[in-house]
Structure 1
Amino acid sequence: MFRRDHLKADGRRLALYGYAPHDGPVLDELLRPETAPGELRRDPLRNSWAIYAPHRQSRTFLPSAADDPLAPARQGGPLTEIPFEDFELAVFENRFPSLASSGAAGPLSAWASGPAQGQCDVVVFSKEPAGSLGTLTHARRVLLIEALIDRYRSLHAAGFAYVMPFENRGEQVGVTLPHPHGQIYAFGDIPAPQLSAAKAFEAGFDLIAEHASWDGAFDVTSDGDLTAFCPPFARFPYETWIMPGKPCAGPWEMDSDSIHALARLLGEIPRRLDALFAEPMPYMMSFQAAPRGMTEKFQFTVQFFPILRSAGRLKFLASVEQFTGVFTVDVVPEAAAGRLRLL
């Protein structure tokens, strides 16, 4: 893998990843508008945190193909985020970030607990204007995993506590740019769900052994030493996880064979989800790897949260889920796994 680094005129970093060196000329590019930093506020009743970033209200919303900000640049064409006429895969700092670096300046409100510190990256899977993680070539998904490993290492080295790559697919989950892409959020502190998981692993919970005890009842498919399964404690209908069959804190610990297996499953699971109801499945997907400094026991997974419960019917988070955090699920995981196995 080759990487080319580029510093935008507004100070944001961009990296091109590819199987060949990139030496194309730099063209004009979109720049970040002046924005106030986001801030954190704490809810003392739930002991939880929220990020407030009003500048994100002005982010690009479902642009036409001619105004695609993630497209390659063209001489005399509209400005885009990527100032090159050709590229394989690109990662750059978000123009409208929820989290900003510690160097971001600006006043905070009297109700803020502090600035919303971190980094938000956009990961552009391809120069093509349409598609998704599931429609990429196998080679491109391998390149994506290698690029994410590089970002994990860089962001952990920069001191960020938790790094989460993810893909939102479908307008139903809030996608505002149709160009195939994902994101990476790097947090200054470990979010509560990931801290809870890390503590469970440190206390002795063994997800590999637990999975083995299910005796294949929840398995969907496997590739090499990786298995895709619907966990028995799933919160979404057809929720599917991918997990290595041996201890692994994050993709940076995977060998070449496992990376290729993961790349194949990252294409296979969306294919099966789309086949469920013969329509594109909107979903949220994330890489759940160990927080920095908590890698000894943590077990890496990739988690897909689909939001269709049946054809044309969305799984909404209604009053019970929103107010109590207790999910109601209409499809039991073992039935979901059985159906996905057949596709």
Structure 2
Amino acid sequence: MIRSSRRLADGREILYFDAGPVPRDAVDSRDLPPVSTLSQMRYDALLGEWVVVASHRQSRTFLPPADQCPLCPSTPDRATEIPERDYQVVVFENRFPSLATAVSEDVPAAAPGAPFAELRPGFGRCEVVCFTSEHDRVFAELGTERARLVVDVWAERTAELSGIDGVAQVFPFENHGEEIGVTLSHPHGQIYAYPFVTPRTEKLLASVARHREATGRDLFADVVAAERTGPRVVAANEHWTAFVPAAGRWPYEVQFFPVRKVPDLPALDDAERDAFVELYLDVLARFARRMDTPMPYIASWNQAPVHAGREDWWLHLQLFSLRRAPGKLKYLAGSESGMGVFITDTNPEDIAEALRSVVVE
């Protein structure tokens, strides 16, 4: 993998990742104002969680027509976010970031009239990852070579972003499908570098600690070992297992765990990366063909924090869809949104069987 670093017209970094040497010397010809990020973090003292306030994102690009897509390569008639005429995988700093390294530091100590709601600058980094220059292609159709390049890019970005002073966790993810809330239809994902450990990660690590104290064993290892021989396995190979979790929250949810315990993507070796691509494309094809139209989904990498808890963590990917049946979505209504108690409309064992039965060849 070859990386080329350039700058966009407003100073943001853009990175080209290619399988072989490709000259990358196109210049961004647009007249762009400097990016101004006014994000701030507000601490919810009752829940013990940080909330990011990024009101400047209201003006971000929303569902442009295909011929106005900002993620397609530039042409002589139209300049986009990618100056080159073609590309393989591209990463660039989001123009409308929730978190940024150059965020304004001028924030008060607390929210107005709320002394327990501590305020901090919205420090971090938000990157866009374009998987292909082809506007109408989806991840499931990338092929093994391009998908493997994307995995290598996720790992490279995780390693680099983890080295930024103040970053506590790196989160690569993909939102796919308008039903999920995607505002740009071009095949892409994002990477967030948070200045705190996310609530989900903290909760998982607390469960691991309780299990070790009670049993002396590794909770991740116990759960994964049980699932690998259970009725909810969707697909598996020498290095990975993909299964529907026993207490899955979403109508369709699959978790991917490597056989070897590793903390994050950079720790995967070549064989494990190849094997993940094989399994992931297989399950994505099942998601695409399970119903009359491809399911929208979120693909969410659960990586170890940059510092604390790394020795306890087991890297895994969550792939889930909020579609419960053709033409029907699972809405997070009163119980889920109000109390955080998920009530699922599907049975995990039935979902695993339904996904296994999908013909992918």
TM-score, normalization: structure 2? 0.90
Q: Output aligned runs, 1:24-43, within 5 Å.
A: 24-29=24-29, 31=32, 34-43=35-44
Which AA in structure 1 matches 2:54? A
1:187 is the counterpart of 2:194: yes
Offset of residue 161 of structure 1: 0.8
Could you say which residue in structure 2 is the equivalent of 1:258?
272
TM-aligned CA distance change 1:24 to 1:253, over 3 Å: closer
Offset of residue 169 of structure 1: 0.6
SS state at 1:113 partner: strand
> In the alignment, is the contact (CA less than 8 A) between 2:64 and 2:184 conserved in 1?
yes
Offset of residue 32 of structure 1: 5.9
Whole-Å separation in 2 of the counterparts to 1:29 and 1:235: 46
Which AA in structure 2 matches 1:224? E
Could you say which residue in structure 2 is the equivalent of 1:338?
353
Which AA in structure 2 matches 1:162? Q
Let me know the Cα RMSD of the aligned residues.
1.7
Could you say which residue in structure 2 is the equivalent of 1:210?
223
> In the alignment, is the contact (CA less than 8 A) between 1:37 and 1:100 conserved in 2?
no
1:315 is the counterpart of 2:322: no
Could you say which residue in structure 2 is the equivalent of 1:121?
127
TM-score, normalization: structure 1? 0.94
Which AA in structure 2 matches 1:70? L
Could you say which residue in structure 2 is the equivalent of 1:74?
75
Q: Output aligned runs, 1:72-151, within 5 Å.
A: 72-75=73-76, 77-101=77-101, 103-105=102-104, 107-108=106-107, 111=111, 113-151=119-157
1:221 is the counterpart of 2:261: no
Could you say which residue in structure 2 is the equivalent of 1:153?
159
Residue from 199, 203, 206 that aligns with 1:199? 206
> In the alignment, is the contact (CA less than 8 A) between 2:168 and 2:194 conserved in 1?
yes
> In the alignment, is the contact (CA less than 8 A) between 2:36 and 2:103 conserved in 1?
no
SS state at 1:296 partner: helix
Percent identical across equivalent pairs? Answer: 35
Offset of residue 141 of structure 1: 0.6
TM-aligned CA distance change 1:133 to 1:202, over 3 Å: farther
Offset of residue 36 of structure 1: 4.2
Which AA in structure 2 matches 1:65? A
1:304-325 residue CA offsets vs partner (Å, 9 max, x unmatched): 1211111110010001111110
Offset of residue 6 of structure 1: 0.8
Structure 2 gap segments, 5+ residues each: 112-117, 213-217
What is the aligned length? 341
> In the alignment, is the contact (CA less than 8 A) between 1:2 and 1:18 conserved in 2?
yes
Whole-Å separation in 2 of the counterparts to 1:202 and 1:244: 21
Which AA in structure 1 matches 2:243? F
TM-aligned CA distance change 1:206 to 1:45, over 3 Å: closer
1:63-114 residue CA offsets vs partner (Å, 9 max, x unmatched): 1122111111122x2221111112110001100000111x322644662611
Bigger shift: 115-124 or 35-44?
35-44
Bigger shift: 13-22 or 205-214?
205-214
Whole-Å separation in 2 of the counterparts to 1:149 and 1:34: 27
Bigger shift: 244-253 or 227-236?
244-253
Whole-Å separation in 2 of the counterparts to 1:79 and 1:10: 14
Offset of residue 29 of structure 1: 4.8
Whole-Å separation in 1 of the counterparts to 2:198 and 2:224: 25
TM-aligned CA distance change 1:33 to 1:332, over 3 Å: farther
